[in-house]
Structure 1
Amino acid sequence: MEQLIIHAPHPSLRKVNETIKSIEQGNIVVYPTDSLLAVGCDPLQKKSVIRLCQLKGIDPSKANLTYLCAGITDAAILSKQIGKELFRLIKRNTPGPFTFILTAGKDVPHHFSNKKKTIGIRIPQHYFIEVMLREMGRPLLSISLASTDEEQLLYPDELVSIYRNQIDLWIDDERPQGQPSTIIDCTDWPPEIIREGGHALVW
């Protein structure tokens, strides 16, 4: 496992490009976000998606896997559900630690679509991830690395050590983990908060 150490507030473009190259090569990457430490891969590479699901012990036909997006434009491509009211709700709360559950659009790769045909959308507020997503030009498939409440309390180096044999690259900002994101089910209107996180949703 390779480790890249990053520093706020201006990430090295060289390290951003190294991360993008690793993702495009099909690698599994761990990175900080505005909530918990996350692990992700290129959603267009089926083998990488399978590895990611195996690492987390999840079934893609049952799980709500999440896309990290640079902005609402990317989210709208993945879900045709975003009308005016939902657009305003997402706009008011992003970038930030919120996961919006939406009905998946036809552009979502079928190899990890769950039976409910839903996806999670995150537009994170983290200096490195924001730049990386803009430079990459497309969303990243992402999931929290911590599998239990106990793992959410671990320092990043402790958590990464549990999964290090299944990880190819770790982006380390040398900061402790944040709090879980707030999850909002937007498949019906009005939306329903299904998990309270560290930040309150602005309605």
Structure 2
Amino acid sequence: MSLYFELHPDNPQPRLLRQAAQILHAGGVCAVPTDSSYALVCHLDDKNAATALRRIRQVDERHHLTLLCRDLSELANYARVDNRQYRLLKAGTPGPYTYILEATKEVPRRLSHPSRRTVGLRVPEHRVTQALLEELGQPLLATTLIPPGEDEPLNDPQEIRERFEHTVQAVLDAGACAMAPTTVIDLTEGEPRLVRLGRGDPARLGLAPD
């Protein structure tokens, strides 16, 4: 049975954040709000938790999981970023964008793309998620909370609780959030490439949708 934490969206209660961080440190999977939709998250270094997260979403190792980072400096610890890429990242950070970048050695090989050694990273613009990252002290491994066999992400924490109460260890309720995935930009092939158009406006990064 999932624990259910009702957090203030602008001033999340530190006591509840500590409890959520303890669950993640212990290998749990949590549903958390972001600036796009709710996401499933787990501890970066816990192989079993990452396996559980993929099992809940029913995706294999070819599906990019994303690292949620506190800021650009933390993101740069996990991806190789040149000056041009950094300027683009800065223009869209924080925000509802996921960037595909070349992974550094800090990223466990099992978490990067098996053939490309790339990883998805982003800095979310949501106070609860940011506060949880601060409490945890490191990035979270994440994937958009899209139920298996469906196309749309979930944004209602009560529905998430009802549908996933036996598969996730905690749901962090900060109210409904946007119901759209992030915009995904691939920065590994020279020119930035729009992989998926989501909530983030590509024009903010100087890109035009295909």
Q: Verify same fold: TM over 0.5.
A: yes
Provide the C-alpha distance between the structure 2 equivalents of 1:154 and 1:40, rounded to a whole number of angstroms: 15
Question: Which secondary structure does the structure 1 equivalent of 2:77 belong to?
Answer: helix
Amino acid at match of 1:3: Y
Correspondence for 1:65: 65
Amino acid at match of 1:169: A
Provide the C-alpha distance between the structure 2 equivalents of 1:14 and 1:187, rounded to a whole number of angstroms: 40
- Asked if structure 2 preserves the Cα contact closer than 8 Å seen for 1:156 and 1:177, the reply is no
**What is the deviation of 1:53?**
1.0
Correspondence for 1:198: 199
Question: Which secondary structure does the structure 1 equivalent of 2:125 belong to?
Answer: coil
Correspondence for 2:139: 139
Provide the C-alpha distance between the structure 2 equivalents of 1:194 and 1:87, rounded to a whole number of angstroms: 19
Question: Which secondary structure does the structure 2 equivalent of 1:14 belong to?
Answer: helix
Q: Percent of aligned positions with the same letter in both sequences?
A: 29
Q: Which runs of 5+ in 1 are unaligned?
A: none
Provide the C-alpha distance between the structure 2 equivalents of 1:171 and 1:155, rounded to a whole number of angstroms: 11
Question: Which secondary structure does the structure 1 equivalent of 2:195 belong to?
Answer: strand
Correspondence for 2:87: 88
- Asked if structure 1 preserves the Cα contact closer than 8 Å seen for 2:30 and 2:172, the reply is yes
Q: Deviations over 1:77-131 (max 9, x none)?
A: 1112x01111111111111000001111111112333222111101000011112
Question: Which secondary structure does the structure 1 equivalent of 2:166 belong to?
Answer: helix
Cα RMSD after superposing both structures:
1.5
Provide the C-alpha distance between the structure 2 equivalents of 1:160 and 1:120, rounded to a whole number of angstroms: 27
- Asked if structure 2 preserves the Cα contact closer than 8 Å seen for 1:65 and 1:143, the reply is yes
**What is the deviation of 1:153?**
6.1
Q: Deviations over 1:123-149 (max 9, x none)?
A: 000011112212322100000111422
Amino acid at match of 1:45: D
- Asked if structure 2 preserves the Cα contact closer than 8 Å seen for 1:155 and 1:177, the reply is no
Correspondence for 1:28: 29
Distance 1:50-1:69 versus aligned 2 partners, 3 A rule: same
TM-score by length of 1: 0.92
Larger helix percent: 1
- Asked if structure 2 preserves the Cα contact closer than 8 Å seen for 1:29 and 1:170, the reply is yes
Question: Which secondary structure does the structure 1 equivalent of 2:131 belong to?
Answer: helix
Amino acid at match of 2:131: V
Correspondence for 1:76: 76
**What is the deviation of 1:15?**
1.3
Distance 1:101-1:85 versus aligned 2 partners, 3 A rule: same
**What is the deviation of 1:9?**
1.3
Q: Deviations over 1:156-178 (max 9, x none)?
A: 32244222211000001122443
- Where in structure 2 are the equivalents of 1:1-203 lying within 5 Å? 1-60=2-61, 62-80=62-80, 82-115=81-114, 116-147=116-147, 148-149=150-151, 151-152=152-153, 155-201=156-202, 202=204, 203=206
Question: Which secondary structure does the structure 1 equivalent of 2:130 belong to?
Answer: helix
TM-score by length of 2: 0.89
Provide the C-alpha distance between the structure 1 equivalents of 2:177 and 2:72, rounded to a whole number of angstroms: 28
Provide the C-alpha distance between the structure 1 equivalents of 2:25 and 2:90, rounded to a whole number of angstroms: 29
Q: Which runs of 5+ in 2 are unaligned?
A: none
Number of aligned positions between the proteins: 200
